[in-house]
Amino acid sequence: AIVRRAGPQDLDASVVFWADIVIICVAGAFFLFTLPRAVARFGPGGGWLDGHFFRSRRHVRNPRGTVSSENLTRDTHSGGITPSSAVSEKAVQVRNPLHMRAWQARFPGAMRILRYPMIGRIHTGGVAICALYFGLLLFAALYKSSIFKDPQRAGLVAASQIPIVYVLATKNNVLSVAWGTAYDKLNYHHRFAGRLLVLAANVHAIGYIYLWTREHRWLRTIAQPQYAWGLTALILLDILLLFSLAWFRQKFYNMFIFTHVIASIIFLVAVSLHMSQAVPYVIAGAVFYGVDRIVRLLKTRIATATVTTLPEMCMTELTIPSINGGWRAGQHVRVHILSTGMGFYGWLESHPYTIASAPTVAHGAPEGLVLLSKNCGRWTKALHAIAAANTKGVESGSHVKVLIQGPYGGPGYTLPHSFSGAMYVVGGSGISYGLAGVQEVLQYARAGSNTVRIIELVWSVHHPDCLTPLLPTFSSMLAQALALDIKLTISVFYTRAVTSDHEFKEYALSPGLALEPGRPPVNHLVHDVVGRTLHAISDRGERRGVFVGACGPGSLGDAVRNAVSDLDVKGQSNLVGGVELHEE
Ligand SMILES: Cc1cc2nc3c(=O)[nH]c(=O)nc-3n(C[C@H](O)[C@H](O)[C@H](O)COP(=O)(O)OP(=O)(O)OC[C@H]3O[C@@H](n4cnc5c(N)ncnc54)[C@H](O)[C@@H]3O)c2cc1C
């Protein structure tokens, strides 16, 4: 009766309509679960304005943007930090950020199972959601129907999934905002929903093609515009699927993007002209797509960047001083280099990069937005060549115009500075995340809105020389942490043996910075951080847990995940107030 009153009257249309209603209800339930964490972002130190649009703030700069420890003294009465520089003369008011435990920290036992990678990098939780989604669509396709007798139903199932596939494909989408989950973390679901849509559309088409061929009216029928548009929509879907397969994506990334954008737009037109019942779903998909494109435009800036080579790290550093605020640690951008040096169409390509600096809460990132790009393929090597072609001397770097879009991704409703301890385990170019993460916590501490007492940064690299360009930054971070009464330790592990033709340099390492051979003993290090955090907060009532961020090769991520699971098994997660794992 409800179906007849509220939904479409025809059974086929009504079943798929109600399947979508179930999906919307589940999405709404997830939103309600995350709501308390969303609200916490509006509290002190929640930084709810950050992470959406870039800003250019006025700030006082000093060399390499570092804040010297001499500029900071601890105000023993308030517990806050008094910058003794001319920037501010009054003590910073301490306002601890609200801390809302994530579900993964509340139910570590269940999370241990749900975050276990099951198919590739897709975890058990993701596989379970996909399985339930598949079951729902299967029910919608088969309820009082048969794919052999009623090809119409499969077509409607395909059309009804258009909004879901399109909303999950966009970078700026309502689900990411509602769930506090970065768009890239939802991408596997876009791929799964997209494949089911293609499957349903093919079942629908094959059913009719078989019928028309059997009745000797295939040519006559397909000549009619309505069915010709249907065939066009099907071909576009199959092209979308083909070029999105992992092999094509990795080998021909530009082809994948080009076909995806063009085919997905024409598909919406084709399917509307094929099937009038699809129009509401097409409108919803087009709205999601259109809003995303508008927000992307609003998130786009053209700026001048300085590019410098970092030969020891086989990387290129790209700095944009004019953009110095509006992002969060862990977020990334997409960059176009507007230079003929990038090759014939290299300037048309946009590549994703994690931001390697953090904007100071009050004054903006001192050195601006920094990206570290590993020289690995054609595009990144061309960027490196532009930086190397600098004729004015190594210090100044080369200047290029860039088109930068973002910020995207990031930790959502998690506030790393609201924990008792924080740990970043990164490998190679993942150091961008580690640098931004540690700097962000230190900057919240300067602003008097931080509860982290222990921070550990673990960086795994091939060669010890990688340390050279970052030595001043690490030393500065250690000095700032000392002034802020935060125990920061930085451990750099190198995996490649030092050979006779490549000498080992003697580094003057600041206290708190260690350079060690071999792979990082991740399990031991994670347990150690939790142990030290427990010790550091033993005199305080509040246990806010430990934030663990990981970014790097899959094996490093696996090691961190296993270590966190081990803590969950031993009950240490609960003891410290929960351990929250964030994988970049
Ligand atoms: C969210 C995110 C953040 C990243 N952050 C960093 C970082 O901070 N530092 C860093 O060094 N690297 C980072 N990368 C990787 C970096 O984007 C790639 O190494 C770079 O785009 C490769 O370009 P290439 O053409 O020189 O290399 P290629 O050897 O041609 O490509 C290597 C692989 O990169 C992928 N790729 C190629 N072109 C693109 C593109 N336009 N967009 C997306 N992927 C592409 C393809 O899967 C390809 O297989 C990040 C990647 C992602 C997804």
Ligand 1 atom 5 nearest Cα? 353
CA contacts within 13 A on the Cβ side of 386: 26
CA dist 121 and 126 (Å) reads 10
CA dist 244 and 261 (Å) reads 11
Query: What pLDDT score does 281 carry?
Result: 97
What H or E segment, with its residue span, contains residue 409? strand 398-409
User: Could you identify the atom of ligand 1 that is nearest to the CA of residue 355?
Assistant: 8
| SS3 annotation, 491-509 | EEEECCCCCCCCCCCCCCC
| 413: β partners | none
Q: Enumerate residues 6+ apart whose C-beta is below 8 A from 76.
A: none
What three-state secondary structure class fits 513?
A: strand
Q: How far apart are the first and last CA of the chain?
A: 48
Q: Which of 379, 386, 435 to mutate to test the pocket of ligand 1 (most atoms within 8 A of CB)?
A: 379
Q: Which of 376, 466, 551 to mutate to test the pocket of ligand 1 (most atoms within 8 A of CB)?
A: 376
477 lines ligand 1 (CB under 6 A): no
User: Could you identify the atom of ligand 1 that is nearest to the CA of residue 184?
Assistant: 1
- Comparing CA positions, the residue from 368, 397, 458, 417 lying closest to residue 544 is 417
Query: What pLDDT score does 499 carry?
Result: 65
CB atoms < 10 A from the CB of 5, how many? 7
CA dist 547 and 561 (Å) reads 12
CA dist 584 and 498 (Å) reads 30
Cα 371 to middle of ligand 1, angstroms: 13
Ligand 1 atom 17 nearest Cα? 352
User: Which sequence spans correspond to the domains of the chain?
Assistant: 2-36+106-170+173-296, 300-583
Burial class (CB in 10 A: 0-12, 13-18, 19+), 148: exposed
User: Could you identify the atom of ligand 1 that is nearest to the CA of residue 371?
Assistant: 8
CA dist 412 and 445 (Å) reads 20
Return the DSSP state at 97. P
Burial class (CB in 10 A: 0-12, 13-18, 19+), 131: exposed
CA dist 493 and 194 (Å) reads 41
Query: What pLDDT score does 567 carry?
Result: 87
Backbone angles phi, psi at 403, to 5 degrees: -110, 120
572 lines ligand 1 (CB under 6 A): no
Query: What pLDDT score does 123 carry?
Result: 86
CA dist 258 and 460 (Å) reads 36
Q: Which of 248, 258, 380, 408 to mutate to test the pocket of ligand 1 (most atoms within 8 A of CB)?
A: 380
Burial class (CB in 10 A: 0-12, 13-18, 19+), 298: exposed
Specify whether the CB–CB gap between 551 and 426 falls below 8 A: yes
| CATH 3.40.109.10 fits domain 300-583 | no
Query: What pLDDT score does 149 carry?
Result: 86
353 lines ligand 1 (CB under 6 A): yes
443 lines ligand 1 (CB under 6 A): no
Cα 352 to middle of ligand 1, angstroms: 6
For 45, left (φ over 0), alpha (ψ -120 to 50), or beta?
A: left
CA contacts within 13 A on the Cβ side of 115: 25
What H or E segment, with its residue span, contains residue 477? helix 467-483
Query: What pLDDT score does 532 carry?
Result: 95
CA dist 420 and 541 (Å) reads 11
Residue-by-residue pLDDT tens, the chain, 584 positions = 444 555 566 888 899 999 999 999 999 999 999 999 999 999 888 888 899 999 987 654 444 433 333 333 333 333 333 333 333 445 667 788 889 888 888 888 888 888 888 887 788 999 999 999 999 999 999 999 888 888 999 999 999 999 999 999 999 999 999 999 999 999 999 999 999 999 999 999 999 999 999 999 999 999 999 999 999 999 999 999 999 999 999 999 989 999 999 999 999 999 999 999 999 999 999 999 999 999 999 999 999 999 999 998 999 999 999 998 899 999 999 999 999 889 888 888 999 999 999 986 665 556 789 999 999 999 999 999 999 986 555 556 789 999 999 899 999 999 999 999 999 999 999 999 999 999 999 999 998 899 999 999 999 999 888 999 999 999 999 999 999 999 999 999 998 876 665 666 677 788 899 999 999 999 999 999 999 999 998 877 688 999 999 999 989 999 999 999 988 888 888 889 999 999 98
Query: What pLDDT score does 365 carry?
Result: 59
CA dist 132 and 137 (Å) reads 9
Specify whether the CB–CB gap between 254 and 346 falls below 8 A: no
